Amino acid sequence: MKIWVDADACPVPVREILFRAAQRIQVECILVANTALRVPPGPWVKMLQVPAGFDVADNEIVKRVQSGDLVVTSDIPLAAEILAHQAHALSPRGERYHSSTIKSLLSMRDLMDTLRASGIQSGGQNSYSQTDRKAFADQLDKILQQNV
């Protein structure tokens, strides 16, 4: 198992949790982003910088992900592709994506995009909270315990 991180918009607290988990259980964690990000020294955490562009990081993750890997992303279309590869997908807020619910999440995302395009203000997401951080850490631990 490897952990892939859609790192361009990944909150710093999530990356820190992932760094500690990768070191603790000795599993490779790869941050994929179009800007260089700092990673701790050692063999378990790596940075893969990709060229700037629409979905370049997402496409690189999809190209490299293997069945059983974990991908951390808030991008629902990416999560859908990951699930199709028989890998695990987890949002930085601790929401585990499942094959049984991903289509409804995609539909809701498309609806919200349509509403925003028509000028309706949706308010956006709340700031990243301690509750989100704990939910992410708990779900990460569950996935790692079941798969490592």
pLDDT at 5: 98
85 inside domain? yes
Residues contacting residue 121 through CB under 8 Å, at least 6 positions apart: none
pLDDT at 91: 95
Which CATH number does the domain housing residue 70 bear?
Answer: 3.40.50
DSSP track, 104-134: HHHHHHHHHHHHHHTT-----PPPP-HHHHH
pLDDT at 146: 93
Q: What is the pTM of this model?
A: 0.86
Instruction: Output the CA–CA distances (angstroms, integers) from residue 138 to 54, 62, 85, 141, 143, in the order listed.
Output: 31, 25, 24, 5, 9
48 inside domain? yes
**How many domains does one find in the chain?**
1
Closest CA to 41 of 23, 27, 25: 23
Amino acid at 42: G
**What residue numbers bound the domain in which 35 lies?**
3-97+129-147
Check if the beta carbon of residue 49 is closer than 8 Å to that of residue 34: yes
pLDDT at 65: 98
pLDDT band at residue 106 using 50, 70 and 90 as cut-offs? low
Q: Which helix (H) or strand (E) holds 71?
A: strand 70-72
Q: pLDDT tens for residues 111-126?
A: 666 666 777 776 666 7
Q: pLDDT tens for residues 10-67?
A: 999 999 999 999 999 999 999 999 999 999 999 999 999 999 998 999 999 999 999 9
Q: pLDDT tens for residues 53-102?
A: 989 999 999 999 999 999 999 999 999 999 999 999 999 999 999 887 76
